[in-house]
Amino acid sequence: MREPKMSLRKGYNVWVEDKDSAWVAAEVADVSGKQIQVVISSGKKIAVSFEKLFTRDADADHTGVDDMTKLPYLNEPEVLYNLARRYALNDIYTYTGSILIAVNPFTRLPHLYNAHMMDQYKGATFGDLSPHVFAVADASYRAMVNDKRSQSILVSGESGAGKTETTKLIMQYLTYVGGRAAGDDRRVEQQVLESNPLLEAFGNARTVRNDNSSRFGKFVEIQFDANGRISGAAIRTYLLERSRVVQITDPERNYHCFYQLCASGKDAENYKLGHPSNFHYLNQSKTYELDGVSSAQEYMNTRRAMDVVGISVDDQQAIFRTLAAILHLGNIEFSPGKEHDSSTIKDKKSEFHLQMTANLFMCDADLLLATLCTRSIQTCEGLIVKALDSNAAIASRDALAKTVYARLFDWLVEKINRSVGQDLDSKAQIGVLDIYGFECFKNNSFEQFCINFANEKLQQHFNEHVFKMEQEEYKKEQINWSYIDFIDNQDVLDLIEKKPIGIIALLDEACMFPKSTHGTFSTKLFQCLQTHKRLERAKFSETSFTVFHYAGKVTYQTDSFLDKNRDYVVVEHSSLLSSSKCSFVAGLFPSLQEESRSSYKFSSVASRFKQQLQSLMETLNSTEPHYIRCVKPNSFNRPQKFENQSVLHQLRCGGVLEAVRISLAGYPTRRTYLEFVDRFGILAPEFMDGSHDVKTLTERILKKLQLENFQLGRNKIFLRAGQIAVLDARRAEVLDNAAKFIQNRLRTYIALRNFTSTREAAIILQTHCRGCLARTLFSRKKATAAAVFIQKYVRRWLLRRAYIQLYSAAVLIQSNIRGLSARQKFLYRKEQKAAMLIQVQWRMFKVRSAYKHYQSSVIVIQCLWRRKLAKRKFLRLRQEANETGALRLAKNKLSKQLEDLTWRLNLEKRLRVSNEEAKLLEISKLQNTLKSLNKELDVAKMTKIDECNKNSLLQTQLEMSVKEKSELEGRLIGMAELTKENENLKVSVESFEKQKSALEHDLVNARKDSNDAMEKLQEVEEKCKQLQQNMKSLEEKLTVLEDENLALRQKVLVTSPKSHLPGLVKPISEKYSGMLLPNVDEKPGYESPTPTKYIVPFSRSIPDSRRSRMTIEKHQENHEFLLRCIKEDMGFRDDKPVAACIIYKCLLHWRAFESERTAIFDHIIMGINDVLKLGDEEYVLPYWLSNASTLLCLLQRTLQSNGFLTPSQRSGGITAKMAQGLKSPLKYIGFESSVSHVEARYPAILFKQQLTASVEKIFGLIRDNLKKELSPLLGLCIQAPKTVRAHTGKPSRSPGGVPQPSLSSHWDSIIKFLDSLLSRLRGNYVPSFFIRKLITQVFSFINISLFNSLLLRRECCTFSNGEYVKSGLAELERWIVNTTEEIAGTSWHELNYIRQAVGFLVIHQKRKKSLEEIKQDLCPALTVRQIYRICTMYWDDKYGTQSVSTEVVTQMRDTLNKDSQNLNSNSFLLDDDLSIPFSTEDISKAIPELDPSGIELPPFLRELPSAQFLVATT
């Protein structure tokens, strides 16, 4: 990658090699001979040779470039630091031509892989959007569909670089765009995706560099049919690392499936498993768990993946039983036997594991022990059994474990392929290769040798592809490329695979001899290949060798080469397991024929791998390749950490630098003529007069500079490596001279400005001094005059103050004297008044005392006289009391009182008896009433049709019962009062005569009778309660029926109109009409105002068959009339849609809204749908949007709920809304009282729901068609034309230039589109409400499309492009302003996102803006992730300014890392809203009043019989 010699001078920007950072930025300080003094970024000054320097682009943007072919200097450090800059901004994908480099972020970035992102890349041209793995997958898919040729995607990288995840994403995207073939229910795509976790469980393990490293190569071939749909798949695997089953090193792990099985819980207990530390094959490493991974959960995921792939439960149990057997097999230990070179079981623990292994394999334990401890050799004389020592037995045990696991893995792959199914008739395929990358460790063994051999093969294929792409580019541009050459690695491949002296051939030969060792193999290797330039003997080892691969030299230790290359098939092992009672285990080991004397069947692993690799290369050569190179940024698996040395090594191993090397061999620097002229036009300003095209200008500039290493293509100029540095140096010289000239002129200007300012300052100073002197003289004169003026007023003030003081003293003395005399007079008068008051009170007291004494004396005398008279009367009365006559009178009086009491008691008895009889009569009446109610309830249960009337009757009777109950309660209260009176009478009778005890006994009986009456009344109350419960149950049944009715309505609403045929409507109407209106007789069809309805005598005389035939013919005529009104373009009259008005008047005249069953509504809906399907959508959709909305509003005004929809309102939805609106449908349009309402039956309500759905459907179709028409126009508007843009990221300094077309040409097409839309809608008199909604949604789509394109395409995030889009948005703003607000609505606010994003692009001094200012002032509507995306993609192609500061970028990245778990906020793209932005109530409120009565009938309908009533009315 060495650049041609360049001329260096002081201040030149270069890259210097560094031990720690690989490369560091530096600036040339001095050039002296071969040594060059440079100052590195840390400030240190060092001396380096010229050969160790690379040119550095000082004007590079901190965001990097998305395609490294755009780098001005295509060299190793520029490639490295471009990746580092992009990785720091979480831009993990970068192109190198058609190659995608993916840097593992080690963090979740779900916003990059959601369905919305896949939809953005679907069908997009490769390179138009930001680099992404979806772009490569889409390019391969489109190439397969368009070119009818199979494709392949090669994913490579070292362990932990993200190859497996990248492969998953590719398969996920191919599943998204391919889907499943029509009629295929095999779920191929899901099975392909689910095969990943299954193969990961059995083929992935933890290594030093990665927790989930694939220890096998995988080629997934996804097959497609002729329509581009997935029809099948196949998976091929390569070189499973079998040795890992029996041998691992700390801190690595064995395959994941073993740890998952140990954590499976119940299954582990069944197989006698425990913690992994108890098993030899797992405890060789102390790492048993992975951070953040649950083995138990992964076990469940593996089982679920097996279910999806199609592995039965029995096979799943057999698989895990086999894994458990392998673990137990590893715990079998051997000790030396009694005989020489023999072995036996070591202890009881080993015997337990031997028995468990035999049980799990379902074979004999003794036979298993014999196969492990002995070997049989077939000779001419017979079978010879040879005993094995303990080491050989352990080797036999490990060989059995490796063989079983390898065959189990092969069975899984074969099962997945059978389950997914291969499409033999597939037209094309896309193969995804996920294979191990180049590996170079401290100790490299046989596995690393095979892996690096595969990478050498793939690198050769990669080099050929890159060279082919270079050739195609040169051929496309029609330049000479015959002398371009590149370095090939065929010599390394010959060293490895060539026969008969290649490394693999020599290794196989050594393996054929039993006594060969790694030492003999190494010796022969160096003897045969000692002169090969790519092979070298290791310095400190006799048996190790070094191979110089394309990515660097690797030293291999041959200690285990022979053992790992020998793939022995032990006959005893196969015979033992093929005879297993477990069909699954026996199926893994089919029976072998005895063809050899030895029980060992040798097979070369390297040769088999070589054949597989050759087959893979043949497959790849037959396809069109696409390359993805995965890079691991650091060895700690941490995000935002970039290790330069590690990444540089991976770039070399991945062939990226080899691709750069191939580009350097040709013409690495390529610029379009416009870019070249814009950057280097300042080198020849005399040609920049606008009279030449850009190609001629380029040629003249190069000839003037006398450059030779270039070629002119059709659209680009191609420069050899180093030529761009020469051009930049000449450009820098011109800019330096220009800077010196500017500095000269600036210094002159500054000196002149200083002199002028000094002279002006002197004049100003003189003027100021003169003014100061004049002001001083004036101040003195002014002070003198002021002093005289002040003296005058001071003297006056002193005299006045003396006079005022004298005057005040005189007044004060006079006032005091006058006050003293007045107070003395007042005191004298006060004393006189007090003396008079005292005298009056004393005289009054004396008179009152004399009066009170006289009065008390009189009262005493009166009391004494009255006492004397009373004593006399008392003596007289006492004498009379002693006489007997007085006693007789008292007795007679008491006798009369007793008679009165007796009479009253008898009267109470008679009243009580009469009350009891009345109560019994009432109770019998209530019982009869209850019996009648029970009979009526039984009748109500027998039929559902009479439930409503029965309910009302029961309600009435219940009310009467309640009234009677209230009357009985009143009577009971009266009885309680009588009871109290009886008790009072009883007390009075007992006081006069004890003989009346019989009356008390009768009273007790009366109480008992009253208690019986109370019990009977309680029984009546319980019966009333039971009746109430029955009433509630009936109400609940009615509610259930109404809910069922509502469900049927909703089903009818969501089904297509074609399903509402008359034959279907009739059964539904017959089924539910009785439930809705039980008293209405059934009528065929809908009621028509024919004479058969009004002239009863005449209708009776007509036969029923003739009458029904006439009705059917009349209905058929009406249907044909309505269908003709629908199919014909009726136009508009007085801004009213004629078709809607005629249909409404016909339905109203024929009383269709009042009909219980009718099919006319279904015919109308079907007719509208047929017209929408067959007609021209551009004109039919607006026409029917106007008619359907008008008809809907007329229905809303006319129809009135009949009461049965009220309970359904609680169910919500459009049915409930319409039912609610039917209560007062005309209050929204202003003339509710002037229009007669029509009772809406169920078909009418259903028709209104269907019509509402049709309006929404038409609106959605218009909106979708507008988006389809608008999408290509927006694709042109998001990016400024090339003639007005500068692509190089530098400001245009050309004095002349090519004439530029108008910037607004593409935006004018948007304006014309909007004008055309508005004219079409207005021409069809679409209500302004719908126009406003459509215009708003169109602007919302413009906002979403432009904003998403801006965030996905870096060339759109430029300053000049921001100005271009901003000018276009200004055109849209003018259009909105010119359009009335009634039409535009909130359209301008819908553009908030793109307006704020573009506004951010075109502001200056972005580096001075803080994050809060950007969030609150510049982009308040944008999220932090969206702002971060714009900031990292922005580049100033006009003034060369930088984006926001590094601090702001760091703050945003920290914020995003904290919110990375919130999946709702992870996407930076906007989603399109596909909902309907209005409801039925909105339509009713927004559309004005419409009177259909004044519509004239078109001439072609006047002759139809069904339209005669319309002619009469008009």
**Which residues define the annotated binding site for ATP?**
157-164
Query: Is there a contact between 516 and 562 (Cβ–Cβ < 8 Å)?
Result: yes
> Which of 1360, 1211, 1368, 1165 lies closest to 1274, judged by CA?
1368
Question: Helix, strand or coil for residue 59?
Answer: coil
Q: One of 69, 96, 140, 159 is an active-site residue; which one?
A: 159
**Residue 1101 known to be catalytic:** no
1236: phi then psi, degrees, rounded to nearest 5: -80, 135
Q: One of 64, 203, 437, 1289 is an active-site residue; which one?
A: 437
**Residue 292 known to be catalytic:** no
Q: How many CB atoms lie within 10 A of CB 524?
A: 16
Answer positive or negative: Cα dihedral of 445, 451, 453, 456.
negative
Q: How far is CA 945 from CA 940, 949, 1068, 1077, 1087, in A?
A: 9, 9, 15, 8, 22
Q: How far is CA 437 from CA 133, 202, 826, in A?
A: 18, 20, 130
The per-residue DSSP string of 187-256 comes to: -HHHHHHHHHHHHHHHHEE--SS-TTEE-SEEEEEEEE-TTS-EEEEEEEEE---GGGGT---TT---BH
Q: One of 130, 152, 195, 210 is an active-site residue; which one?
A: 210
Q: How many CB atoms lie within 10 A of CB 206?
A: 23
How far is 275 from 969, CA to CA, in rounded Å?
82
How far is 1148 from 1197, CA to CA, in rounded Å?
12
Query: Is there a contact between 178 and 228 (Cβ–Cβ < 8 Å)?
Result: yes
Q: What ranges make up the beta strands (E) of 444-573?
A: 535-537, 545-549, 552-556, 569-570
How far is 1044 from 1048, CA to CA, in rounded Å?
6
Q: Which amino acid, 41?
A: S
Bind-site residues = 157-164
Torsion of CA 1018, 1023, 1027, 1029, to 10 degrees: 70
Q: What is the chain's Cα-based Rg?
A: 54
Query: Is there a contact between 330 and 281 (Cβ–Cβ < 8 Å)?
Result: yes
**Residue 619 known to be catalytic:** no
**Residue 497 known to be catalytic:** no
Q: Exposure string (b/e) for 53-75, b if CB count within 10 Å is 16 or more?
A: bbbbbeebbebbbbbbbbbbbbb
**Residue 159 known to be catalytic:** yes
Ramachandran region of residue 523, left (φ > 0), alpha (ψ -120 to 50) or beta?
A: alpha
766: phi then psi, degrees, rounded to nearest 5: -60, -45
Q: One of 439, 477, 675, 1355 is an active-site residue; which one?
A: 439
Question: Helix, strand or coil for residue 93?
Answer: strand
Q: One of 164, 396, 961, 1189 is an active-site residue; which one?
A: 164
> Which of 79, 96, 75 lies closest to 6, judged by CA?
75
Ramachandran region of residue 703, left (φ > 0), alpha (ψ -120 to 50) or beta?
A: alpha
Q: One of 90, 104, 213, 1186 is an active-site residue; which one?
A: 213
711: phi then psi, degrees, rounded to nearest 5: -145, 145
**Residue 737 known to be catalytic:** no
How far is 996 from 443, CA to CA, in rounded Å?
130
How far is 1324 from 190, CA to CA, in rounded Å?
49
**Residue 623 known to be catalytic:** no
Q: Exposure string (b/e) for 1149-1179, b if CB count within 10 Å is 16 or more?
A: ebebbbbbbbbbbbbbbbbbbebbeeeeeee
Q: One of 130, 150, 214, 390 is an active-site residue; which one?
A: 214
Burial of 352 (0-12, 13-18, 19+ CB in 10 A): middle
How far is 405 from 403, CA to CA, in rounded Å?
6
The upper half-sphere exposure of residue 1290, i.e. CA atoms within 13 Å in the direction of its Cβ, equals: 20
> Which of 653, 456, 448 lies closest to 556, judged by CA?
448
Q: One of 63, 94, 160, 1156 is an active-site residue; which one?
A: 160
> Which of 560, 519, 628 lies closest to 161, judged by CA?
628
Spatial CB neighbours of 1345, under 8 Å, sequence gap ≥ 6: 1270, 1271, 1274, 1278
**Residue 312 known to be catalytic:** no
What amino acid positions are annotated as catalytic residues? 159-160, 164, 210, 213-214, 437, 439
